[in-house]
Amino acid sequence: MKKQLIATLVAGILLFLWQFLSWAQLNVHGNEMQYTGQQDTILQMLGQQNLKGGTYMLPMPAPNSTPEQQQAFMDSSAGKPWATVSYHASMNASMGMGMFRGFIVDLLAAFLLIWMLLKMTNLDFKTALLSSWAVGAIGYLTIPYLNSIWYETNSMGYLIDVVVGWGLVGAWLGWFLTRK
């Protein structure tokens, strides 16, 4: 159990540190959120609409539309501009709780991976590394990549996170868990 806890703690820290570097220092995800000089005007206009906090797809048929109305709406929207907007009435600039929750998630992900790896009878460095990449790839393919298909966004930063972040975790676990 001690070995599993040490492996989890170090793997969680490695994943967390890579994510910090990826987002805050290396700007790997810089192309996912772009600047517009019209931001003040857009935010003022959105605020005047008394929007509730949430994510909006624009345009979108009314929720009570019939299937025929939905199809007609989709046909009339084809080729026209569209947007997704995540609106919040108040910005929370405190990062403490978000970073804490992110670290807990990284620890949990590392713990689950280690639990699976320790179920393998002939675990070696290569298997730990490839299994770590596989776990990262599953997360990438089923969430950021699928979203990039439907919302036409760039997911390259997330792919880099899989290769580097989960590669670091896999290398650590491949070395630590296979030591006698």
Residue 7 DSSP symbol: H
Residue 108, token pair as written in the block: 């949990």
**CA 103 from centre of chain:** 14
Element (H, E) at 86: strand 83-87
At residue 149, the pLDDT reads 96
How much is the pTM? 0.85
Return the domain boundaries, the chain: 2-33+94-176
127: Cβ contacts below 8 Å, ≥ 6 apart:
117, 120, 174
Residue 64, token pair as written in the block: 């009570």
At residue 73, the pLDDT reads 94
32: Cβ contacts below 8 Å, ≥ 6 apart:
153, 154, 157
Closest CA to 137 of 105, 170, 111: 170
At residue 36, the pLDDT reads 92
Torsion over CA: 27, 31, 32, 33 (sign): positive
SS3 153: coil
At residue 148, the pLDDT reads 94
CA–CA dist 174, 164 (Å, integer): 15
| Residuewise pLDDT in 10s, the chain (180 residues) | 899 999 999 999 999 999 999 999 999 998 888 899 999 999 988 888 888 889 999 999 999 999 999 999 999 999 999 999 999 988 888 899 999 999 999 999 999 999 999 999 999 999 999 999 999 999 999 999 999 999 999 999 999 999 999 999 999 999 999 997
At residue 16, the pLDDT reads 97
CA–CA dist 114, 13 (Å, integer): 14
